[in-house]
Amino acid sequence: MKQKIRILSAILCMACLFSNCSRRLPPETVPVTVPTTAETSVDITEESVSETTAETTEETTEETEPELVFSTPAVTERVVDKNGQLHVEGTKIVNESGEVVQLKGMSTYGMNGMYMFVNKDTVQTLAEDWGCSVIRLAMYTMGNSDGYIPNPEVYYQQMVDYVQLCIDQGVYVIIDWHILFDGDPNEHKEEALDFFNRISELYGEYPNVIYEICNEPNGECFGNPDETVNWENSIRPYAEDVVDVIRANDPDNIIIIGTATWSQDVDEASLNPLEGDNLMYTFHFYAGSHGQDHRDKVQTALDNGLPVFCTEWGTTYDSGNGIVDTEESMLWLDFMDENDISWCNWSIGGSVTESSNALKYASNILTPEQKAQGHWPDQFITRSGLFVRCMLLGEEYIPEE
């Protein structure tokens, strides 16, 4: 009898100990079932097990992450069906009826870091769930280890596949010759001429297509390290030749030309632009690094009659990292709306982790298969992505507490 009493006393003490410990543990470590009779050597009725389990489960459920809710289409209108062939009048884009059009969308990260991520489902998600009227396909010419130059056929075919997805979805698509590490576009000019000749021959009759012929010219001139790349000595001569190649196959679609200093010096380009129709000039900004002085550059270009297209902007520092500056981003977005400037946000996300990424691409919130299926839940979208998605859909952005 005394032995049984000692056993029962020990059991009660252990129960109290575990009860106190469980209140200190995070919710995911709290047991949701009671110990079995084999573990306790004490008879526990089925009714008491059910009651205890229900209480513990209810307590745990209140602490768990919210259920993943996948997005659904919010936009059903096909933007290309509505607007048709775009062209440039003055500083603005207009549709085939002469109405002003402001395109808004997302840029991919470098496609060599997003293999198979851009597919029918993700393109549909960007167009219908996020409201993108344009998608920019950033094809790095030279990366840290890969790109079009060392693997031209691989990335030519990838570009063709991705452009076709956008055409099938009824959105506009920017074919971006994404120079960056090779800052002078003339370094691989022959390859650019070949690429744009082939791609314009294939897609020149489609109103969806927009060409961006040099992403961010920067650094030293190719073959002349004593000179810095600028509009007159490097970019303009390169652009003249590439535009001629495209126009031989495609006389109508818009061509966007990069500008000096990582596509920031549109004011410089406005002093001596190329002759020709449906040509635009790109400027890039990152809200955490570029402010009113850069808007002044754009305003100067507009005042000089230069049509501009912001093919890349970010909510963060120009490194792609740092704070998500929604306040400065709104100043830029208001400025672009006032001037009907089209834009693409950098970026959907890729194999690297940047705070400018719209998606938590490297997270394990979703399986790789779920990531590629699109319709991403809010838990998979970054603060920057939630903000930009609201801007695309014309919704008010309410920051999470």
pLDDT band at 63 (very low <50, low <70, confident <90, very high): low
Residue 64's pLDDT is: 66
Tell me which amino acid residue 348 is.
Answer: I
Higher pLDDT, 354 or 205: 205
pLDDT band at 23 (very low <50, low <70, confident <90, very high): very low
Q: Which residues contact 246 (CB under 8 A, 6 or more apart)?
A: 196, 197, 200, 204, 211, 213, 255
First to last CA, the chain: 59
pLDDT band at 2 (very low <50, low <70, confident <90, very high): very low
Q: Give DSSP secondary structure letters for 309-333.
A: EEEEEESS-TTS-S---HHHHHHHH
Q: What separation in angstroms does the CA of 17 have from each of 10, 65, 155?
A: 11, 28, 62
Catalytic residue among 128, 187, 212, 312: 312
- CA atoms of 106 and 137, how far apart (whole Å): 9
**pLDDT > 90 fraction of the chain, expressed in percent and rounded:** 78
Catalytic residue among 216, 268, 328, 354: 216
- CA atoms of 86 and 190, how far apart (whole Å): 28
**pLDDT tens across 90-111, in order?**
999 999 999 999 999 999 999 8
Q: Catalytic residue at 47?
A: no
Residue 203's pLDDT is: 98
Is 9's pLDDT higher than 50? no
Q: Which of 103-107, 123-127, 346-350, 393-397 has the lowest mean pLDDT?
A: 346-350
Across residues 357-368, what is the average pLDDT?
93
Q: Catalytic residue at 216?
A: yes
Determine how β-strand 134-140 pairs with β-strand 220-221. unpaired
Q: What separation in angstroms does the CA of 20 have from each of 16, 58, 210, 341, 355?
A: 6, 18, 65, 61, 40
**pLDDT > 70 fraction of the chain, expressed in percent and rounded:** 83
Please name the residue that has the structure tokens 């709306």: 337
Radius of gyration of the chain (CA): 28
- CA atoms of 343 and 324, how far apart (whole Å): 18
Q: Exposed, middle or buried by CB within 10 Å (0-12, 13-18, 19+), for 119?
A: middle
Across residues 237-250, what is the average pLDDT?
98
Tell me which amino acid residue 307 is.
Answer: P
Reference 262, options 291, 225, 235; nearest CA is 235
Helix, strand, or coil (residue 264): coil
pTM of the predicted structure, to 2 decimals: 0.84
| Encoded tokens for 315 | 């909510």
- CA atoms of 400 and 307, how far apart (whole Å): 37
Higher pLDDT, 281 or 353: 281
Is 283's pLDDT higher than 50? yes
